Structure 1
């Protein structure tokens, strides 16, 4: 891109090089201190090494897990992962194809613990071993209204691919099914939007008393 095509009024993301002398802190990345930090991170983590950020996030992760069935390389998966990062979930589980559409994640998956499971049985076994309730999110027969449901604190919200939704095998393994009440004409809403609503609903019921990460 030439300088002529850059909008001089556009906001600058992040911060530039850190002035000398640099702080003495093992969490800081010398390259970022020298060149500036343009990543999409809260101000608390400016100039921090990726590994240091993950280690710090691990001290405040929620008990919520999120699982996504990846059968169609759904572009919504990246959006779901980005939302999972916003809620600092315990882990994200990709079920099915190992490769998934990362574009919408905006590299936020690097700050999460992402696990791959070949099939439904693998995920459900993982959850059962750890006492984590499997809760399917889909507007299927037998689903109860999400807004009227008390979700378990140790819970994995499971989402299907856009369109087909949850597989029969996944539905059979879920402790319960919840659905977001809709009042419009379409049968279902965007999978990424549904995931955001469900994660927010869990967070309202199991709010962390600790303050949110400070930022501007």
Structure 2
């Protein structure tokens, strides 16, 4: 007996292919959604990790800022202490300046020069006196400029013929005034040490030759 299929087989195959297509499309959509969700979760984890690192760095930066501020305050205190120490040392050294000044004036004043007055203002000293000649005044200027460890920058203010007073020696004398600066004690001590070293070297030179 011959069997004849009267069902619409082509339509059935078309429906089957359509169902397969939509099933594959749904599966692809599900896979796509899953991938998106996984990627979103990964991004969230990376964002949280970076945020944690940023919070840690911010906390460490705040700690470092506090330490830097403490160091700056400590440096300021050290500088203030150094300034106080320098001021105290200067005051202690300044107490001896008049003694050194008078001692240097005795050493550096040549014969024929007589100091009649002096006035000190800070590190500046103004001297007035009488000299037998211009050469004597020039010698004093050279001495204070080159030979003295405590005096520097001598400057002649005025020199003129002295007026003869009754009972005064009638030889020709000159009235003069000059100003000179006093070195700070530390600088003067260094200059004195250098001068002493030069003196010792000069004494040893003839013996070696």
Larger Cα Rg: Structure 1 or Structure 2?
A: 2
Structure with more contact order per residue of length (Cα contacts < 8 Å, sep ≥ 6): 1
State the TM-score, normalized to the length of structure 1. 0.21
State the TM-score, normalized to the length of structure 2. 0.22
